[in-house]
Structure 1
């Protein structure tokens, strides 16, 4: 799937794919936390998915921007920002 905008949901078939597979939880990893990860998580929240962003698997354009994005994602869904250890539990 080709992603041409910040959010993985914008202008892609991601929503169709996820609904077709019965997916309810989305794990966020990648770059940039303060742009693409944040936008995709916000859209996932708007589509009623449970968001899980793995703190050790994302990075921002700066430490301040990275931490602010994680705080914003956590504000959307309490408990959304998790550690890599929590993925395996």
Structure 2
């Protein structure tokens, strides 16, 4: 019985921690306004990037800025974060 409880607890913990790892930068709905293509490979020009940033809710902006300032979180999104800091981070 204890092994079953431990196993179920480990599964639940891994599910919760896995959801916590996905941040604002990993949400396609948050990132799509900044890209010209559905595959999110080509970023929009500066004016459009700034417009997308300005149209975003303040809480999402705060989450994205926080993640871009975290080296581990921003690593997969380095180019995006560099643009975010350049275009939107220093108003």
Structure-1-length-normalised TM-score: 0.31
Structure with the larger strand share: 1
Structure-2-length-normalised TM-score: 0.31
Q: Which has the higher contact order (CA 8 A, sep 6+)?
A: 1
